[in-house]
Amino acid sequence: MLLTFLHFNYFWIGPALVVASLLWRYLRQSDYLAISTLFWLDRVRLRPSLLRRLPILLIILAVSFIVLGLMAPVLPYSEHEIASEGLDIAIVLDLSASMQEVMDKKPPVPGATRLKEVMTMEPDGKTRLDTTKDALKYFIQSRHEDRIALVVFSDNAYVVSPLTFDYEYLLQYLDMIDAKILEGEGMTAIGDGIALANNLLERQRTDPPRSQVITVFTDGEHNIGRDPVEVLAESAAAGIRFHVVGVDMEDKFKGNEPVKKLIDTVTAHGGRYFDANTESQLLDASTTISGLEKVRLVSKEYIRQVPVFHWFAIPAGLLILAVFALRSFGYFADYT
């Protein structure tokens, strides 16, 4: 690990201080007349102890450290390990026509009329789409180190947002999704939605690669486009994990062969299938997925010209404190 200095010209402060110190000691000497008989004594035996010079030596060392600190010492290259938890998550959201139906719909009261549906042509309650959007908001807000993308599908699949850390941006786009965004479409191309998510994760793969996850929210069975079972096999081959949430899926679909194959494929590759028939179950599914998908990442970061002046400033400060401490003892006091 090579240490360099950005302001090497400050080196001359050291010699300048030495010259100034010697000059000051010379000028402060007073003229006096004295007759000494010390030469009769044994000069070697009475030579002052070098230990008493310790404060002066510490001051010189402290000044040297200060000068080195002023020279702006840096490490040309420094390597740091950064540990974090993070994933690349692609959310695949069903926008087929059935997602506009009321979720957890209560059986009608005999003789009662749904005035709201008659007057406004709007469903009397939260739709499957709105309930799923609320669960997704909770899911997104619970993540911190992840890049999240949003893909929607009906007859075709579309990217609403690429992988991003900007969760506020993502939530704004999620709010914009409604029944009119894919007006004119109404089928359920689950395979195309997963295929687009695969492509998106591949195009935005990082180096080193982050773990990748696809989470599908759908209320029906595949009825157009690519076979989702084949597409999920491609996901598994690329190392992408996946989960599927059945959003208030009707019983007539659950027994169908395409849905059974989809669920079997998900579980066979270590994923989870969630049967969310109510709003609370949908929130629980989102919470469970959030808890399952946590990965610890350790990456290396290289930084140029890392300042290390504290390597010299801290020892200099400690040495100065040591000088003051020694001067408090009479043995080290300077009586001249």
Q: What whole-number distance in Å separates Cα of residue 86 and Cα of residue 179?
A: 32
Is the model's pLDDT at 196 over the cut of 90?
yes
Least confident of 44-48, 57-61, 206-210: 44-48
Of the two residues 5 and 85, the one the predictor is more confident about is: 5
Predicted confidence at residue 32, as pLDDT, reads 58
Short-list 89, 67, 83, CA closest to 140? 89
Q: What whole-number distance in Å separates Cα of residue 39 and Cα of residue 95?
A: 108
Predicted confidence at residue 118, as pLDDT, reads 47
CATH number at residue 190: 3.40.50.410
Q: What pLDDT, in 10s, does the model give residues 283-312?
A: 888 888 877 766 555 555 556 667 877 888
Per-residue pLDDT band for 57 (boundaries 50, 70, 90) equals confident
Is the model's pLDDT at 33 over the cut of 80?
no
Specify whether 200 is located in the same domain as 274.
Answer: yes
* Mean pLDDT of all residues in 120-147: 81
Specify whether 212 is located in the same domain as 317.
Answer: no
Least confident of 13-22, 199-208, 263-272, 315-324: 13-22
Specify whether 126 is located in the same domain as 23.
Answer: no
Is the model's pLDDT at 186 over the cut of 70?
yes
Least confident of 114-118, 240-244, 258-262, 275-279: 114-118
Domain count for the chain, please give it: 2
Specify whether 138 is located in the same domain as 211.
Answer: yes
Q: What whole-number distance in Å separates Cα of residue 65 and Cα of residue 58?
A: 11
Per-residue pLDDT band for 180 (boundaries 50, 70, 90) equals confident
Specify whether 60 is located in the same domain as 206.
Answer: no
Position 266 in a domain: yes
Helix (H) or strand (E) holding 175: helix 167-176
Is the model's pLDDT at 277 over the cut of 80?
yes
Of the two residues 305 and 23, the one the predictor is more confident about is: 23
Predicted confidence at residue 327, as pLDDT, reads 79
Least confident of 14-18, 30-34, 132-136: 30-34
Q: What pLDDT, in 10s, does the model give residues 247-265?
A: 888 877 777 888 889 999 9
pLDDT averaged over every residue in the chain:
80
Position 35 in a domain: no
Position 32 in a domain: no
Predicted confidence at residue 195, as pLDDT, reads 95
* Order of strands, sheet of 241-247, starting from the edge strand that comes earlier in the sequence: 157-164, 147-153, 87-94, 211-218, 241-247, 273-276
Q: DSSP letter string over 225-273?
A: SS-HHHHHHHHHHTT-EEEEEEES--HHHHTSHHHHHHHHHHHHTT--E
Specify whether 255 is located in the same domain as 224.
Answer: yes
Give whole-number Cα distances, 290 to 137, 200, 293, in Å: 12, 21, 6
Query: Tokens 């309930």 belong to which residue?
Result: 131
Specify whether 178 is located in the same domain as 209.
Answer: yes
Alpha carbon distance, N-terminus to C-terminus of the chain: 45
Predicted confidence at residue 41, as pLDDT, reads 55
Specify whether 289 is located in the same domain as 324.
Answer: no
Could you list the residue range(s) of the whole structural domain that residue 120 is in? 87-102+114-294
Position 43 in a domain: no
* Mean pLDDT of all residues in 36-42: 58
Specify whether 251 is located in the same domain as 321.
Answer: no
Specify whether 263 is located in the same domain as 119.
Answer: yes
Position 205 in a domain: yes
Position 180 in a domain: yes
* Mean pLDDT of all residues in 192-212: 89
Q: What pLDDT, in 10s, does the model give residues 98-129?
A: 888 887 655 554 544 454 454 545 556 788 89
* Mean pLDDT of all residues in 211-218: 90
Of the two residues 8 and 116, the one the predictor is more confident about is: 8
Percent of the chain predicted with pLDDT > 90: 23
**Which DSSP state fits 330?**
G
Is the model's pLDDT at 94 over the cut of 60?
yes
Is the model's pLDDT at 30 over the cut of 70?
no
Specify whether 177 is located in the same domain as 244.
Answer: yes
pTM metric for this prediction: 0.60
Specify whether 263 is located in the same domain as 328.
Answer: no
Is the model's pLDDT at 45 over the cut of 70?
no
Position 282 in a domain: yes
Position 316 in a domain: yes
